[in-house]
């Protein structure tokens, strides 16, 4: 009887000790977590904690630890302003402008222009410029108004956080004086594509196969299919870190049936690829007369 009671007592004591041990472990874990969180928050105040920027580029503007910055649907121009302010403060004004924003509009160049088609080029470029203003207002990618959502880690290189990721569809370039950012693309060309008879054949076949761009003129859709030109699509914000594609066929293409050509606004690289593909498929039609010296930039200023 006494043995049984002693065993029961030992069991009760053992359970109590286990409970106390568990409680102490839990309390200790909470204390350690709190201390760790406090230490991490105030780590920059301790002289024995190494300070530095992860993946730092060999430039002064990328060498300063700054506070973490959190953004939600913030226009990129505002993000740049706040980052610059943080680095000015961290560097005691040694780096007044870590990120330099260039809001120069895309330059549009007329290529293959002549008196017969010059008017059509001017009209298309003017409509493109109006559309450009609308895209800025709506925060399209490639403009400084495009929204940014995310955290910029103050211990990480600005180039890694923004430039390497191509944030906002903008053009980022790291230079010694600053991280430079500008609109993209820098240059677009307005070129005529003279229409081969076989392109009309392809157009009919593509429509029969249900391979056409809804909203584009059939012959323009056929040209897009054969060349791969993609300047007709622009990306617009649709919430934090979400986007949606929107077409703008009539802002970058103009079909002139009386003169049997299509004007296209696209980057020089897109035009080079388009010509290569048309040559390979036998759809390239050279202009009847090369107008040397008539290629010139448009006179209109962008937004």
Whole-angstrom Cα distance, residue 25 to residue 249?
Answer: 66
Burial of 66 (0-12, 13-18, 19+ CB in 10 A): buried
* pLDDT at residue 15 is higher than 70: no
Average pLDDT over residues 270-298: 76
pTM of the predicted structure, to 2 decimals:
0.77
pLDDT recorded at residue 55: 81
CA angle 171, 175, 180 (to 5 degrees): 35
* pLDDT at residue 245 is higher than 60: yes
Look at the block and give the residue holding tokens 């009760």.
12
Mean pLDDT (the chain) is: 86
Whole-angstrom Cα distance, residue 231 to residue 246?
Answer: 11
Average pLDDT over residues 277-295: 73
149 vs 30 pLDDT, higher one: 149
Query: Would you report the helix, strand and coil content of the chain in percent, each value rounded to 5?
Result: 45, 20, 35
Q: What is the pLDDT of residues 172-224, one digit of tens each?
A: 999 999 999 999 999 999 999 999 999 999 999 999 999 999 999 999 999 99
* pLDDT at residue 295 is higher than 80: no
Q: What is the pLDDT of residues 81-118, one digit of tens each?
A: 999 999 999 999 999 999 999 999 999 999 999 999 99
Give the three-state DSSP class for 39: helix
* pLDDT at residue 250 is higher than 60: yes
**Other beta carbons within 10 Å of 227:** 23
Whole-angstrom Cα distance, residue 27 to residue 3?
Answer: 36
> Are 114 and 291 a contacting pair, CB within 8 Å?
yes
pLDDT bucket at 20, cuts 50 / 70 / 90: low
Q: Left if phi > 0, otherwise alpha if psi is -120 to 50, otherwise beta: which for 250?
A: alpha
* pLDDT at residue 17 is higher than 70: no
294 vs 280 pLDDT, higher one: 280
Burial of 290 (0-12, 13-18, 19+ CB in 10 A): exposed
Would you list the DSSP string of 120-182?
HHHHHHHHHHHHHHHHHHHT-TTSTTSEEEEEE-TTB-HIIIIITTTGGG-EEEE-SS-EEEE
Whole-angstrom Cα distance, residue 291 to residue 7?
Answer: 108
Q: What is the pLDDT of residues 44-67, one digit of tens each?
A: 444 434 457 888 899 999 999 999
């Amino acid at each position: 009887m006494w043995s049984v009671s002693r065993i029961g007592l030992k069991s009760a004591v053992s359970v109590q000790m286990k409970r106390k041990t568990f409680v102490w472990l839990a309390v200790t874990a909470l204390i350690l977590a709190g201390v760790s969180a406090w230490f991490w928050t105030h780590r920059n105040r301790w002289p024995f904690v190494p300070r530095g920027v992860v993946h730092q580029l060999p430039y002064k503007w990328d060498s300063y630890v700054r506070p973490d910055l959190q953004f939600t649907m913030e226009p990129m121009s505002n993000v740049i302003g706040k980052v610059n302010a943080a680095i000015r403060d961290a560097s005691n004004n040694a780096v007044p402008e870590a990120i330099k924003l260039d809001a120069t509009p895309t330059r549009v160049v007329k290529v293959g222009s002549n008196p017969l088609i010059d008017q059509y080029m001017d009209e298309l470029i003017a409509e493109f410029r109006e559309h450009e203003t609308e895209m800025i207002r709506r925060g399209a990618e490639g403009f400084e108004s495009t929204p940014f959502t995310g955290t910029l880690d103050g211990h990480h290189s600005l180039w890694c956080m923004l430039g390497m990721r191509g944030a906002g569809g903008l053009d980022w370039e790291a230079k010694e004086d600053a991280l430079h950012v500008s609109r993209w693309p820098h240059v677009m060309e307005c070129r005529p594509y003279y229409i081969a008879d076989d392109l009309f054949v392809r157009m009919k076949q593509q429509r029969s196969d249900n391979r056409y761009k809804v909203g584009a003129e059939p012959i323009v859709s056929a040209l897009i299919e054969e060349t791969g030109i993609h300047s007709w699509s622009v990306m617009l914000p649709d919430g934090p870190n979400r986007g949606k594609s929107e077409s703008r066929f009539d802002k970058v293409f103009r079909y002139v049936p009386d003169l049997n050509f299509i004007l296209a606004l696209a980057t020089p690289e897109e035009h080079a690829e388009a010509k290569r593909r048309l040559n390979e498929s036998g759809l390239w039609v050279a202009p009847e007369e090369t107008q040397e010296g008539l290629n010139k930039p448009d006179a209109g200023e962008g937004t």
